[in-house]
Structure 1
Amino acid sequence: MLRGIWLCVLLAALSGCGERIERFTGPTMGSSYSVQYLPTERSPAPQRVQAEVESILGELDRHFSTYRDDSEVSRFNALPAGACQAMPEDMLALLRYGDELSVASAGAFDLTVEPLMNLWGFGPQARSEAVPDAAALAREQARVGYRHLHVEGNRVCKDVAAQLDFDSIVAGYAVDRVSARLAELGVRDYLVEITGELKAVGHKPDGSPWRVALEVPSGERERTVERSLELDGYGVSTSGDYRNYFEEGGQRYSHTFDARSGSPVRHKLAAVTVVDRSALHADGLSTLLMVLGPDEGYRFAEQQGLAAYFIVHQGLGFASRATARFAELFPEPARR
């Protein structure tokens, strides 16, 4: 489900060392999570904090995982055209947000692209990475489109054999859920990272801000740190094409799909980072901008006042471009 993780949480180098920082990590969503926080007089023992976090992640896995047959989303995806299924409130909320992104992007962003991902070799039921023939592409594209779904109370219904995939937003939602629970437990200073999506609140023990590194590729599937961001109360998400793709006939095919064409994007945008108070919004918007590409995506980001940072393929290297809001939040360090 990973979409090209470009944010590096440098736990030791950037987050600081100190006896008061508690850290724990674990597997989740086909990848991993990590939490760092400063205990307070109100916060419970670290073992309970970790148990609370993993309870949230376990619930989300039961609802949203397309890699387990018994999840809510897998049961819905197995239903035929014309069927309905009652959904938990978190799935309904994310479906509504996905619809908002679909409308805003004129259908470029869509939560129903799983049939296309499987067809091209990137989804949970994929057989191999390959360019499909025109007939297969037309068949699967007929099952794609947020307008094929409608909500009746707490039930989601479909008029074709549509399949949902929340991977483009669920990790950001998980970060927000975990962050909210930490606050309820009395934790005021923390950094949460889940499959590369993250949020930082408060400060380190010495009073300095949490810092994360923004990366750019430096070679074949390699990466280097371009700059670091100081965060307090913001979520950060990066979507990119640099690590999850295949090549056929001299053409590169990304795992990011434009639902309008039914095909992987073919523009020169390598990655885009979005910073927002909501990690859910940052997660969804980074995917949306990645689908739209370097020009249409940049215009959209500026029109919406988004804090976004674009990395674009340029010859054998890369060029970067920040929106006005991003530059306002994170001014370029003075060059010596």
Structure 2
Amino acid sequence: MACGESRAENVSRLSGETMGTFWNVSIAAELDDAAKNTLKQRIESELEAVNDSMSTYRDTSELMRINHSRDASPQTVSDGLRRVLAKALEISKESEGVYDITVGPLVNLWGFGPEKRRDKPSDAEIAAALQHVGYHKLQLSAEGLSKSDPEIFIDLSSIAKGYGVDVVAETIDAAGYPNYLVEIGGEIRSKGNKYGAPWRVGIERPEAGLVSGAAVANIIAMNDRLPAMATSGNYRNYAEKGGEMAYHIIDPKDGKSHSSRLLSATVLAGDCMTADAYATTLMLLGDKKALAFADAHNLAAELILAGEGDKPYLIQRSKAFTQAIQEEQP
């Protein structure tokens, strides 16, 4: 996603690094240097807490403590991790396991997690990893999170970044600023407006060649009813494995890296972690099922598919997306 602004005066900007990417904040207010520094410190502290809780790249994180544990009894989880797990398990059930945060063994096997590898996994390796995948093997209760399989490896990369966006938005709210735009690695959440004008963000489309880059397909005016936007796609995070292209979104049903005509899925939602997880779900469903799922579950979604003939791409929109947006062509 790309963020667009037509008026720059009195927009205070903050930025930094997190989760292997960058965070950016625009606030429709004039903050002095002291206020900027104070808010930036709060934001970075909150994002550091998210990483310490949910990163699979930090061996001492709260999530990795759970992943390493062989204990079948409930393990205490923080409020933030509980919030993310609850949403993830809700969408897993709703999608009948198409979305599944226990996909970690497969993500690692394909080399898209903290454990890197260059070769394509064998069918036997995939079959072995699939034995330890299944959201139904997790139980979230008042006592904590329990695993019925000690080899379960939870990967929250499909939802944690969206949650990070929500945490930043809540931090800005708590600081008393009612008009802002937050972005982390293309995930968006906005509130209010920019001096009477809506915050505008661009939905990317793949350039010719499909994986070589991106350009703006259209520009969306954000609103407070669906203030969050997340996009999942197969045209950026990919690698060659055994002479074939492998994409980072791994199907928890068969353990394979699939591609379809669906190149990206963008979802608008009330919070960014929800948008993030649903965008991944739609990518996993592919071009044959994603739009029907979005309409059946009242998701505001835009899908970009590879085109045919002289059309490089095709845009599909759910009914809820069409009703929700105001669009300006770039």
Q: With structure 2 as the length reference, what TM-score do the two structures score?
A: 0.91
How far apart in 1 are the matches of 2:112 and 2:214? 22
5 Å matches for 1:30-179?
A: 30-39=20-29, 45-80=35-70, 82=72, 84-128=74-118, 130-160=119-149, 161-179=151-169
Distance 1:250 1:185, change over 3 A: same
Q: Deviations over 1:67-92 (max 9, x none)?
A: 11111111211223636532112112
Q: Deviations over 1:92-112 (max 9, x none)?
A: 221111111111111110011
Which residue does 2:316 correspond to in 1?
A: 321
How far apart in 1 are the matches of 2:109 and 2:16? 31
Tell me the matched-pair count: 323
CA contact (8 A) 1:64 1:73 kept: yes
CA contact (8 A) 2:98 2:252 kept: yes
Which of 216, 220, 231 pairs up with 2:222?
231
Which of 3, 8, 14 pairs up with 1:9?
3
Which of 292, 295, 303 pairs up with 2:288?
295
Moved more, 260-269 or 140-149: 260-269
How far apart in 1 are the matches of 2:290 and 2:52? 33
Task: Structure 1 unaligned segments of length 5 or more: list them.
Answer: 1-6
Distance 1:146 1:188, change over 3 A: same
Task: Structure 2 unaligned segments of length 5 or more: list them.
Answer: none
How far apart in 1 are the matches of 2:229 and 2:80? 21
Superposed displacement of residue 266, structure 1: 2.9
Cα RMSD, aligned residues only: 2.3
Confirm whether residue 212 of structure 1 aligns to residue 201 of structure 2. yes
5 Å matches for 1:176-325?
A: 176-205=166-195, 207-220=196-209, 221-233=212-224, 234-248=227-241, 251-315=244-308, 317-325=312-320
Q: Which amino acid aligns with 1:209?
A: P
Superposed displacement of residue 51, structure 1: 1.3
Q: Which amino acid aligns with 1:323?
A: S
Q: With structure 1 as the length reference, what TM-score do the two structures score?
A: 0.89
SS in 2 for 1:94: helix
SS in 1 for 2:290: helix
